[in-house]
Structures are given as C-alpha cells and as structure tokens.
Chain A
Amino acid sequence: MATDTYTKVEDTKVGKKAAGPVGWVDDRLGLAGVARKNLRKVFPDHWSFMLGEIALWSFVVLLLSGVFLTFWFQPSMAEVVYDGSYEPLKGLEMSQAYASTLDISFDIRGGLLMRQIHHWAAHLFIAAMIVHMLRVFFTGAYRKPREINWLIGVGLLALGFIEGFAGYSLPDDLLSGTGLRFVDGLIRSIPIVGSYLEFFIFGGEFPGELIIPRLYMAHILLIPALLLGLIAAHMLLLVYHKHTQWPGPGRTNENVVGFPMLPVYAAKAGGFFFVVFGFTALLSATIQMNPVWAYGPYNPSEVTAGSQPDWYMGFSEGLVRLMPGWESTFFGYTWSWNVFIPGVGGLGLLFTSLALWPFIERWITKDNREHHLLVRPRNAPTRTALGVAGMTAFGVGWAAGGNDIIATQFGLDIYALTWVFRFGFFIFPVIAFLITKRICIGLQHADSDRILHGYETGVLERSPDGGYSERHAPLPVAGQYTLTARDRAPELAPAQTVDANGVEAPHNRRERVRVWLRDKYYAGAVDKPTADDVHHAEEHLGHFEGHPSDHGDDFRGVSDAGVPKVH
C-alpha cells in the first residue's frame, strides 16, 4: 500500500515556484545548512512528551492576549470615579487600574473574553509546567546530562508563580489587594530587614501608590523577558541533548527513534498550538474566571470571606493557615515565625528541594553515566515514593489554603480541619511514601512474573485429579525486551572506611551517611530477572525435550491478541 516512489520536492510544482525566493533568502542568510539539520531532527513520540508543549503554547497565548489587555489597562493607583456600565459599582471611587479592568470587562468589545483567556492561559501555563515537571521527575529525565535544564525548569516554575501573582494583583480589586497584603506580610516577616524591604518595594507604607505601576513593569516586561529567555534556553538544551525516549526494541541510550521535525512534528506541534489556543478560548468563553467586579474596589479596611490566592499559591497560603501563632521579640525586633516559617520557608523549601534533588540523587547513587532512556516510575521505587510524598505535602498545604471553603461546602468544622492538616502535613507524606513504594515493588513483581511465567492465555486445563490451572504463554520478545531494558541495581558495597593500606579514609562519616542513604534508596526494589532465569522460564513455557508439555499437540501457542490458537 505504501508508495516507495515519491517526487523530489524541487521537482514538484510548488518546489519549482519556491526555488527562486528560497534561494534568494538562503543566499543572504545562509540558513539552509542549519535548517537542513534541524528540520530533520528526530523526536520520539509519546503523549507525555507533549505536556511541556501545553505550557509553551499557553505562554504564547499569554503573550498574545496580554498584548491586547495592555492596550486598555491603566496601571495607576490614582483615584477616579467609576462611570462605566457595571451598575452596582457606579459612582464609586476606585483606582484607575480597577476602573480600567472593569472597562475591559464590560465596555470593550471582546475585552472580557480576552481577560478570561489571559487568566485561563495563566492557570494552564503553570498547571502544565507542574504536570510536565512531574513527568520529568517520575521518569528520571532530569538525570545527567539534563540537570541544568531541570534547574532552568525550576526557575521557570518559580518565575511563573511570581508572574502569575503579579498579574493577580494588577486589577486592584478587593481580592487582589488582599493577596498583595498577604505578600506584604510575608515580606515584613523576614527578620530585621523585612520592614525596610516593604518600604523599598511599596515605596512607603502599604499600599502606597507605587506598587501597581511597579508590578505592571515586572508583569509585562521584566518577568516575561526572563521567561522568554529561559524558555529559549530550555528548548535549545532540549535540541542539544536530544529528547529522552522510552526503552524499547531498537531504542538505546545512544540513539533517538522517532519522527523528524519536518513534516511530522512541525504539523503536530503547530496543530497542538491551535488546539491549546482553541481549547483555552472555549474554556474562557464558557467558564468564568476571576470575576473582579464581584469583589469591588480594594480598600485596606475591607476583606471578603473566601479570599484565596490563585491555586498555585494555595500551598503557601495553607501553610500560613496551619502554622501556630508563634512570635518572639528580641533585639528590639519582632520575629514573626508564624508567617516567616510557613510563608517564606515553605516556598523556599519547595524550590530548594526541587532544585537540589538531581544532585542529591547523584551523590547518593554515584551514578555518573549519561541517561537518555527513561525509567518507568515503578523501577525507581524510592524516587517515585519520594515524589508522591512531596506531592502529598504540597497537596495538604494546598487543601489547607482552602480550608474555609472545604468547611462551608462540606459542613465541616474549620478548626478540626486545621488540626487534621497540621498533623497531616507531616504524617500523610510518610504514609504516601510507604504505600507508593509498596505499589512500585508490587508492580515490579508483576513485571517479573510476566517475564518469567508469561502472560495468561485464558486456556484452562484440568489435571487428571480434577485440579484446574491456566496455561501461560511467553511474552513476545519485543515485550520482554521493553520490560527488561533497565539498569540492574548496582552491587551495594559496604562503606570504605579504610583505604588499601589500612589508613582511615577522609570524609569517613559523610561516606557512611551516603552508603546508608544508598542502601535505603535501593532497598526493596526488585531486580530484573537474569538471563539464566529467563532461559529456565522459557524451558518451562516452551516444548522442550525433557520438559514435556501437558497440552498435547493441538496447542500451537497464542496469537498476538492473546487468543489461543488451538487446532
């Protein structure tokens, strides 16, 4: 069916017509060489490799919709009297920022849709970054040589949080002002320098008149520029390192099996952009996002129940809600542990542990090889369990940030919830770790069983004494290869405390800690079956002399679909 003959592009009608202009451009820019190499660049195919792309395209949607919003948004805290179409706020004094946001929402054609597209895309940008990061984490794609790209990714995520927060604060409605006050509290909780920093950032006492223009500059210029630069670096490194791939027949640590950039991925990625834009527009047209008019103008003396940050800051908010109200005073300064530890410390811990993990793991395992093949999460039980534990801790903080909404919507007591989350923040991750590790090891056993005992054919046999058993058949070789294409666990040598001459080695204690951690890291994991195991299993499964089959001559193996071919 497939055609082996094709017309060379330069011989096609389009090719002939394009030859002139393309030649003209190439003579002046000399891009043909670069393009030839990169347009044929091969990428592997898997749905999970497209998660980062959601973030990328959401960012493009953010840039486009953001440009639209800048045409009308006025980043000023000057007081004006609102005289737009939204009746319930008519005649109120408010900042120009809020008034212009209301104008965008109610008086500018397409403004509300664009505002909602911008906000939706921001949510999706950060959510996609997190999902993408989880994929990279759980498959071990951050390992050498990709640690720097992981760090860039962590930086992108952190900048995304800040960018999102700045955008959330710009409309100057009651909710965003309350969020700004929260961050003002975080800044002030920094020991000694906090209040100075606050005055520096806000240009005086909160809220002042400078913060909106300043945030605006950061939101539309500084942070987007940084994001853009880091995204470019992220993509260049991706091209330089080549994309990781799942193991399988023909796929090794040295090659990449997939499709070329042109035409396959140019079409897929290009198409995906329109899918992301289209879906974002659909969501924005049907689901309300941040109804700023409902909150009213910001006034530092007012607040509304259900004041929450956008979801990605929920973790930080939640930890502050969980923290007991500890505060101490010495050297004439107030040390607000109640805000500083959860607020600044929580986010600090999150990003520090994310950034350091690849290096910690490498130090523990002393694995200095390059890795281009992905690891199934079950085959790194400790890493997977740690990841799930981290997600659990993040999730508890996140849920605690919405404890009031959970309380009212489910008829629960907010104090009881707070206590559950207080203990849960420490206990639930441990439980999650243990359960996840058990599940991973269980799945590893299942894989081993499939390799050694084949898969279930559905053929039931009755023995002469009446017992029933099911016939198993060996996996296809490709399947066996895919399941076993992973590293064997290293030999766990005890810590070298003395060198060959019996002299005590330096860094003795550190080495012992490392070895202890390493043993914990590999503990419990099921190694893949050895070649001997597999050969022995084959003998059992196949028709071998000396291992007579019970199934008679009728049994001719099983089809690929698992249907036994009897007769």
Chain B
Amino acid sequence: MRTLSTRRRHPLAGLFVLLGALAVAAALYTVFAPKNATAQESSTADVEAGRDLFLIGCASCHGENAEGIVTSDDSNYGPSLIGVGAAAVDFQVGTGRMPMAQSAPQAPKKAPEYDEEETRQLAAYIASLGPGPAIPEDEFLEYEDATAEEISEGGEFFRTNCTACHNSVGAGGALPDGRYAPTLEGVTAKHIYEAMQTGPQQMPVFGDDVITPEDKRAVIAYIKAVQDQPNYGGLGGGGLGPVADGVWVWLVGIGGMVGFAIWIAANGTRSKKKVKGAEQ
C-alpha cells in the first residue's frame, strides 16, 4: 500500500487513474447499454465477410474502421458509420446510393453494386460496430394490410412531415445547392421505412418515438395508395402540379386551338379549292 501512496505524485499517476476510470465506465456500459436491436441474428461469419467487403469498397472514404475521414479543412470526407445501424446500410447500399460513383452534392439512386447477400453482410458488420436502427421487421412493411382509416391517418402524417420536400404524391422536390428530395415512386416499403428511421443525406430522422413503427407503416400505405391508384381524370402530369398543367395548356391546348383557327380560316367559304373539272 505504501507503494501506491508514495507513487501517487508520479507523473503518470493521473493517466493511470484516467485509464482505470475509463475501464470501469466501459465495463458499466457493456452491462447497461441498450442492446442492438438487430432483427435477425447475424453470425460472426457475416460480420467478417462484411468487414472484408467494407475494406475493399467503403474504407477509402469511411476509414478502415468506419470511423469516418475528416479532411484537413475539417470537412467530412466520409462520415463515421459507427452507430448508424443496419437499416442505414441496407438503405444506402440497397438503393445503390452507396458506394457513390463520384463526389456530388447528393448521392443519387442507382442500380445497387452489392447483391442482397453482400448488403446483409455489410449491414451486419456496421451493426457490430455500435448500436443503431435495425432493418425493419416484416410486420411493419405489410402496407397492403392497412385499413382505410390507417391509410387516411398515414396521409395526415405524410402531409404534416413529408410533403414539404417530397411533394403531395411523393413526386420529389428541389432542395438548396443541387440537392433534392427524391421521388418515392417505385421505392420499396422497406427502403421508405429505413429512410424515415435513419434520415439519409438531407432527410431528418423520424425515429420510433416521433413516428411509431405502426404509423410508419400507415405512411407507407398512404404513399402506395396514392401512387398505385389510377390517374383519375386522364393523363397526369406526374404529380408535378400546376407547372405540368401549364405545359399541357400551352403545348396541347392553345396550340391545338390555334391549329383549328388556321384550319377554319384556310377552309372557309370561297376558299381557293379547285372546282372539279374547271379550267385553271
């Protein structure tokens, strides 16, 4: 015990105490931390395979340990992926947004680079780094089962939270500096759910305490309902609103009317049509 008290003013003593405190905190954390809400159990093999894929395809921007890369002027080359969860990986990789083809204001949707198996492995690896939102369970994705009340309630959530950027039928909208809210046309229920859950790119996070999983399903049901319904009233403008209407008016409407006017003026009485058999 004497050793301890005599060495208490040693230059390295503070460091030892700090390390000790950290070790205790880490131990407490592993005991009390919320468990990673991964839906499907992922094997160690998946994590290993995911790590291999990650090192090849992702580490150049996100860092070897997914800790992110900060450039010399303090901006973000690739964000840290620790704690983003399997849902974020499944959305970003599953919709082809990651890996990005080039640096751009926003990663566009494209054909996925990784197949389902590889996406699952990548997700497993990222999920193993820290707790984060998991890939949603099927019961929250079966929007076909939603009742009429749920659909109209989902519409209310959609108009309150989503239409300002995504447009009233999910046709998408513009955001500053070349960014945009993409169209929701043809996006799978799982990816819509994951986007709400993880808030990719410009999108805010709508966690489970903001919009419950059941309500998320209702929102998806509304989006699918308005997009799958027939175009009542004829050819639509893709949900783009009055701008599309105006294009129709000027291209087809007034253009056609003027065409008729020219036709009538050219073919009225005493037009210069030759009378049959008459001399020229």
List chain A positions with a Cβ less than 8 A from chain B. 1, 45-51, 53-54, 87-92, 105-106, 112, 116, 120, 123-124, 127-128, 131, 174-175, 259, 263-264, 267-268, 271-272, 275-276, 279, 283-291, 293-296, 299, 301-311, 314, 402-405, 407-409, 412-416
A311 to B180, CA, bound (A): 23
A54 to B248, CA, bound (A): 17
B232 surroundings in chain A (CB, below 8 A): 105-106, 112, 288, 291, 293
Q: How large is the interface on B (under 10, 10 to 19, 20 to 34, 35 or more residues)?
A: 35 or more
- Please tell me if the beta carbons of B155 and A89 are within 8 angstroms of each other in the complex: yes
Most chain A CB neighbours (cut-off 10 Å) among B177, B250, B253, B256: B253
- Please tell me if the beta carbons of A404 and B173 are within 8 angstroms of each other in the complex: yes
B95 surroundings in chain A (CB, below 8 A): none
B57 within 8 A of A: no
B249 within 8 A of A: yes
- Please tell me if the beta carbons of A1 and B155 are within 8 angstroms of each other in the complex: no
B244 surroundings in chain A (CB, below 8 A): 405
Which chain A residue has the least Cβ–Cβ distance from B239? A294
Known: A123-B253, A311-B246, A413-B178. A304 touches B172 (CB 8 A): no
B278 surroundings in chain A (CB, below 8 A): 1
- Please tell me if the beta carbons of A124 and B160 are within 8 angstroms of each other in the complex: no
- Please tell me if the beta carbons of B167 and A287 are within 8 angstroms of each other in the complex: no
A405 surroundings in chain B (CB, below 8 A): 174, 240-241, 243-244
- Please tell me if the beta carbons of B246 and A310 are within 8 angstroms of each other in the complex: yes
A276 to B254, CA, bound (A): 10
Closest 10 CB pairs of A and B: A305-B173, A311-B246, A413-B178, A47-B265, A404-B174, A50-B261, A304-B168, A407-B174, A288-B233, A304-B163
A310 to B253, CA, bound (A): 15
From residue A173, how far is it (CB to closest CB) to chain B in Å? Answer: 9
Which chain A residue has the least Cβ–Cβ distance from B169? A294
From residue B202, how far is it (CB to closest CB) to chain A in Å? Answer: 12
A89 surroundings in chain B (CB, below 8 A): 152, 155
Question: Which residues 149-195 of B have a CB within 8 angstroms of A?
Answer: 149, 151-152, 155-156, 159-160, 163-169, 171-178, 180-181
Partner of B159, one of A90, A302, A308: A302
Partner of A306, one of B241, B262, B264: B241
A415 surroundings in chain B (CB, below 8 A): 176-178
Most chain A CB neighbours (cut-off 10 Å) among B225, B257, B275: B257
A414 surroundings in chain B (CB, below 8 A): 174-176, 178
A311 to B253, CA, bound (A): 13
Interchain residue pairs with CB less than 8 A apart (26): A47-B258, A123-B245, A124-B253, A174-B168, A268-B269, A272-B260, A283-B256, A286-B235, A287-B252, A288-B233, A288-B234, A289-B245, A296-B155, A299-B160, A304-B168, A305-B172, A306-B167, A306-B171, A308-B243, A310-B242, A310-B245, A311-B249, A404-B173, A405-B174, A408-B172, A416-B178
B237 within 8 A of A: yes
B27 within 8 A of A: no
Partner of B222, one of A88, A283, A289, A310: A88
B148 within 8 A of A: yes
A291 surroundings in chain B (CB, below 8 A): 232-233, 236
A284 surroundings in chain B (CB, below 8 A): 234
A264 to B270, CA, bound (A): 10
- Please tell me if the beta carbons of B260 and A305 are within 8 angstroms of each other in the complex: no
A116 to B233, CA, bound (A): 8
- Please tell me if the beta carbons of B167 and A304 are within 8 angstroms of each other in the complex: yes
- Please tell me if the beta carbons of A275 and B264 are within 8 angstroms of each other in the complex: yes
A276 surroundings in chain B (CB, below 8 A): 257, 260
From residue B227, how far is it (CB to closest CB) to chain A in Å? Answer: 10
- Please tell me if the beta carbons of A305 and B269 are within 8 angstroms of each other in the complex: no
B105 within 8 A of A: yes
A98 to B173, CA, bound (A): 25
From residue A431, how far is it (CB to closest CB) to chain B in Å? Answer: 22
B55 within 8 A of A: no
Known: A50-B264, A408-B180. A306 touches B151 (CB 8 A): no
Which chain A residue has the least Cβ–Cβ distance from B270? A259
B241 surroundings in chain A (CB, below 8 A): 175, 304, 306-308, 405
Which chain B residue has the least Cβ–Cβ distance from A285? B234
- Please tell me if the beta carbons of A88 and B151 are within 8 angstroms of each other in the complex: yes
Per-position binary interface string of chain B over residues 44-67, scored 1 when its CB falls under 8 Å from any chain A CB and 0 otherwise: 000000000000000000000000
- Please tell me if the beta carbons of B269 and A128 are within 8 angstroms of each other in the complex: no
B226 within 8 A of A: yes
- Please tell me if the beta carbons of A311 and B168 are within 8 angstroms of each other in the complex: no
Known: A47-B265, A305-B164. A124 touches B249 (CB 8 A): yes
A120 surroundings in chain B (CB, below 8 A): 249, 253
B160 surroundings in chain A (CB, below 8 A): 299, 301-302
Which chain B residue has the least Cβ–Cβ distance from A311? B246
Which chain A residue has the least Cβ–Cβ distance from B278? A1
- Please tell me if the beta carbons of B246 and A314 are within 8 angstroms of each other in the complex: yes
A105 to B231, CA, bound (A): 12
- Please tell me if the beta carbons of A413 and B266 are within 8 angstroms of each other in the complex: no
A175 surroundings in chain B (CB, below 8 A): 168, 241-242
Known: A90-B152, A283-B252, A405-B243. A275 touches B167 (CB 8 A): no
- Please tell me if the beta carbons of A92 and B155 are within 8 angstroms of each other in the complex: yes
B34 within 8 A of A: no
A285 to B231, CA, bound (A): 12
A54 surroundings in chain B (CB, below 8 A): 254, 257-258, 261
B268 within 8 A of A: yes
B252 surroundings in chain A (CB, below 8 A): 283, 287
A264 to B265, CA, bound (A): 11
Partner of B245, one of A91, A290, A408: A290
A290 surroundings in chain B (CB, below 8 A): 242, 245
A88 to B227, CA, bound (A): 11
- Please tell me if the beta carbons of A87 and B233 are within 8 angstroms of each other in the complex: no
B248 surroundings in chain A (CB, below 8 A): 283, 287, 289
A307 to B166, CA, bound (A): 11
- Please tell me if the beta carbons of B148 and A87 are within 8 angstroms of each other in the complex: yes
From residue B43, how far is it (CB to closest CB) to chain A in Å? Answer: 42
- Please tell me if the beta carbons of A47 and B266 are within 8 angstroms of each other in the complex: yes
- Please tell me if the beta carbons of A408 and B222 are within 8 angstroms of each other in the complex: no
Known: A279-B256, A291-B233. A87 touches B151 (CB 8 A): yes
A46 to B265, CA, bound (A): 6
- Please tell me if the beta carbons of B177 and A413 are within 8 angstroms of each other in the complex: yes
- Please tell me if the beta carbons of A88 and B233 are within 8 angstroms of each other in the complex: no
Which chain B residue has the least Cβ–Cβ distance from A295? B168
- Please tell me if the beta carbons of B246 and A304 are within 8 angstroms of each other in the complex: no
Which chain B residue has the least Cβ–Cβ distance from A286? B234
A302 to B163, CA, bound (A): 8
A199 to B104, CA, bound (A): 47
Known: A88-B222, A288-B236, A294-B226. A407 touches B180 (CB 8 A): yes
A310 surroundings in chain B (CB, below 8 A): 242, 245-246
A403 to B240, CA, bound (A): 12
A309 to B243, CA, bound (A): 8
